[in-house]
């Protein structure tokens, strides 16, 4: 069943798009709706305030946040580590993907679809 699920992840409509002008809490809520996983934004080593936008986060961190970057798309077939790296590459933002409750880190080597199904 795992192979079939992985194949289906490539064709799922669940796709997550990030617009840089949204608040972090809205981006996280949209991610949870799409994949039933938590997306946590960081400001340095601390969790960022959800009320901030990517542009506002730029003023609060030593890392350069690119709030003018085009949005990015994440699909269920992507590896967790690749999705987290996309946030860093496109926006200069550190994120972690966690389980639905936001308590357990999801391994970078599995796909977002596998993580959403709890296959780890």
Could you write out the DSSP letters of every residue in 68-109?
A: TSPPEEEETTSBHHHHHHHHHHHH--EEEEE-TTS-SBPPTT
Lowest-confidence region among 9-18, 36-45, 102-111? 9-18
- Quote the pTM value: 0.81
Report the domain count for the chain. Answer: 1
Mean pLDDT for 48-67 is 71
Do residues 83 and 112 touch, judged by C-beta distance below 8 A? yes
1 vs 106 pLDDT, higher one: 106
Do residues 42 and 52 touch, judged by C-beta distance below 8 A? no
81-117 pLDDT, tens per residue? 999 999 888 888 899 999 999 999 999 999 999 999 9
Do residues 64 and 100 touch, judged by C-beta distance below 8 A? no
User: From the CB of residue 21, how many other CB atoms can be counted at a distance below 10 Å?
Assistant: 11
Q: Which domain holds residue 67?
A: 2-116
Across the chain, mean pLDDT equals 82
Residue 71 — pLDDT band, cuts 50, 70, 90? low
């Amino acid at each position: 069943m795992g192979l079939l699920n992985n194949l289906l992840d490539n064709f799922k409509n669940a796709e997550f798009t990030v617009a840089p002008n949204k608040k972090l809490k809205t981006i996280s809520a949209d991610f949870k709706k799409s994949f039933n996983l938590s997306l946590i934004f960081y400001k340095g080593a601390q969790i960022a305030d959800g009320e901030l936008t990517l542009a506002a986060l730029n003023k609060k961190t030593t890392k350069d946040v690119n709030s003018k970057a085009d949005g990015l798309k994440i699909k269920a077939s992507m590896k967790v580590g690749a999705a987290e790296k996309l946030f860093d590459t496109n926006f200069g933002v550190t994120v972690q993907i966690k389980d639905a409750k936001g308590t357990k880190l999801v391994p970078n080597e599995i796909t977002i679809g596998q993580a959403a199904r709890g296959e780890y």
